[in-house]
């Protein structure tokens, strides 16, 4: 890899560190190519990505970035999993690590906050952006449906009473 290619990689990694909602750092020693492809596919489906880069270049790219503190995690065979959604990458990596013990989560960063192993686990347990949006929409829609039910209730009660009176007169 020549100097120009290294500079390009550092620039790409810098963009990843700046724009990602969460970055998870893990050791992947012993993973097969097929297992790594499965991880990449799961991450892509969740809206994230996986990147393997030289630790030295990643440390250079971290300089001056909000998540600079994760530089000490970059040793050995490391992989970076990241996503714009602050929860997606952590969830995918946690799920993958449960099934595959060769992937060892070291920590990560969420914005300027450094995360240890337990921090990544806690982030993975949080609801995703889509889940939060759907629960907020349900909370907003619930009063409207209750109101519609309350408005319609007297009419259905009157209809029930009239039906009962008709049945009695017919009998």
pTM (two decimals): 0.71
Candidates 77, 22, 11, 14; CA nearest to 49 is: 22
With a CB cutoff of 8 Å and minimum separation 6, the contacts of 56 are none
Q: In what order do the strands lie in the sheet with 104-110?
A: 48-51, 78-83, 22-27, 104-110, 113-115
CB-CB contact of 107 with 114 (8 Å)? yes
Radius of gyration (Cα) for the chain, nearest Å?
26
What tens digit of pLDDT does each residue of 117-151 get? Answer: 888 888 888 877 777 777 787 777 766 666 566 56
Candidates 120, 74, 63; CA nearest to 96 is: 120
With a CB cutoff of 8 Å and minimum separation 6, the contacts of 68 are 62
What tens digit of pLDDT does each residue of 41-93 get? Answer: 999 998 899 999 898 999 998 888 878 888 888 888 999 999 988 888 899 99
What span, in angstroms and rounded, lies between the C-alpha atoms of 16 and 2? 21
Bridge partner list, 81: 24, 50
Q: How far is CA 126 from CA 46, 58, 88, 130, 170, in A?
A: 15, 27, 10, 11, 61
* Count of C-beta atoms within a 10 Å radius of residue 6: 14
Domain 3-126 CATH assignment equals 2.60.40.180: no
What span, in angstroms and rounded, lies between the C-alpha atoms of 141 and 134? 10
What tens digit of pLDDT does each residue of 102-122 get? Answer: 999 999 988 888 888 888 888
What span, in angstroms and rounded, lies between the C-alpha atoms of 125 and 11? 31
- H-helix or E-strand containing 114? strand 113-115
């Amino acid at each position: 890899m020549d100097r120009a290619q290294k500079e390009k990689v550092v620039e790409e990694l810098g963009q990843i560190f700046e724009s990602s909602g969460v970055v998870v750092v893990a050791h992947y020693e012993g993973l097969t190519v097929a297992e790594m492809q499965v991880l990449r596919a799961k991450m892509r489906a969740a809206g994230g990505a996986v990147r393997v880069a030289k630790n030295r270049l990643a440390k250079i790219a971290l300089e001056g970035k909000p998540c600079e503190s994760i530089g000490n995690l970059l040793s050995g065979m490391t992989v970076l999993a990241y996503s714009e959604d602050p929860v997606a990458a952590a969830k995918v990596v946690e799920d993958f690590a449960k099934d595959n013990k060769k992937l060892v989560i070291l920590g990560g960063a969420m914005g300027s906050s450094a995360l240890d192993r337990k921090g990544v686990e806690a982030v993975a347990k949080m609801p995703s952006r889509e889940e939060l949006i759907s629960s907020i929409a349900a909370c907003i829609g619930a009063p409207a449906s209750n109101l519609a039910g309350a408005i319609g209730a007297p009419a259905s009660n009157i209809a029930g009473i009239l039906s009962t009176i008709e049945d009695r007169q017919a009998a």
